[in-house]
Amino acid sequence: MNAHPSEWEETPRLLPRVERDLPADRHQLHKERLMTRIHEELAASPGPHATAATRPAARHNPFLRRMVLVPLTAGVLAGALATGLFVFGGTEDTGTGGGPGTSAAGPVLTTRLGTADPEGAARLLDTVSLAAAEAPATPVGDGQYVYIESKTSAISVRHVHGTTSLASSPLHRRQTWQSRDGKDGWLIEPGTTGPEGMTLAGTDEHGDEPEPTLNAPSYDYLTALPTDPDVLLAKIYEETKGTGNGPDQEAFTTIGDLLIESYPPAELTAALYKAAAKIPGVVAVDDAVDAAGRHGVAVARLEEATGERTEWIFDRKTHVFLGERTVQAARDPHGVVPRGTVVSTSAVLTRSVVDGVKQLPGAAG
């Protein structure tokens, strides 16, 4: 079986990650949107007993909405929303006798910020798009599954008795399987789902089978997307209209989500990079580090409302996509997250096609 443009493996095996009862393709959360909700929550909640009712309305997103509509105290809500690619399953200490949190208690990761080059983004994206288009790709057949293994971490914001603090989750391992039509899937995250994992199949909160979208794609959905960069970008802008912190940031975030935890065909991957080059404000960054500790070059965009810069990281030589991280590159308007803080980080360790749920690449069916 030939390798997909993003298919490669890394040896480190780390700690668990967390999930809710959502299909794998709907689990990929929008880091920038969630951090924005943290800022909104902190601004709207002067005390520790404010509720989710004080928040702005949730975004119209089929897999994001279930997490942010749960009524929580401000401390629990902030901790949950800060997790970026995942939501912590442990309890958060809100100062109300609920006990200490179990998921985010480590020191916050910090980093040296790479230098941004506004002139270099188009050139770098052209290079990585060519590499993606020329790489061999493996289509997903009937009865097969997309397997993605990643390593990730993110900060949690705690709001206890009027005092705000930050903590970081341990770097940990996450494994997902998704059928080509997106109707079946599986998640394994030791310590959260149990050693055997949990199914990600099922219906949404209304009892309906969710339809795939740009923010919750199946492989079949991805194969039907246009590969003309202009047409593709227009579709992204149209389908994400009115969401996030402005159309340009939302388009960049949407493309990044597709790169992290979906399996776009090679031609579509190349088109996504070419489309990203047309988004205003996209820059090249000379150095960035993924969650596996691999240095590379990056394509990034600063979200001015939060001061966060999301970086897509590529291998310097092969230009293979390595992972994504969000860093606090400018002043946090709420004074919560110091500049240089790693808000969230993720590295793709393996992306492949397998013949069944819980099967690993290279294993017999």
Give 101's Cβ-side CA count (13 Å radius): 27
Q: Which residue has the tokens 């929008």?
A: 30
- Check whether 254 has a pLDDT greater than 90: yes
What is the spatial distance between Cα 81 and Cα 33, in angstroms, rounded to a whole number?
9
Q: Detail the DSSP E strand segments found in 74-217.
A: 116-117, 145-160, 163-168, 172-179, 185-188, 198-199
Which amino acid appears at position 40 of this protein? E
Confidence tier at 96 by pLDDT (50, 70, 90)? very low
Tally of residues, the chain? 365
- Lowest mean pLDDT of 183-197, 227-241, 273-287, name the range: 183-197
- Check whether 215 has a pLDDT greater than 70: yes
What is the spatial distance between Cα 328 and Cα 340, in angstroms, rounded to a whole number?
5
Which amino acid appears at position 42 of this protein? L
- The pTM (predicted TM-score) of the whole model is 0.73
What is the spatial distance between Cα 72 and Cα 87, in angstroms, rounded to a whole number?
14
Confidence tier at 89 by pLDDT (50, 70, 90)? very low
Q: Which of 267, 277, 282, 256 is nearest to 224 (CA)?
A: 267
Interior/surface letters 217-247, b for 16+ CB within 10 angstroms, e for the rest: bbbebbbebebebeebbeebbeebeebbbeb
What is the spatial distance between Cα 300 and Cα 318, in angstroms, rounded to a whole number?
19
Average pLDDT, the chain: 75
The answer for residues whose C-beta is within 8 angstroms of residue 329's C-beta and 6 or more apart is 113, 302, 307, 308, 309, 339
Q: Which residue has the higher pLDDT, 59 or 142?
A: 142
The stretch 37-64 carries a mean pLDDT of: 35
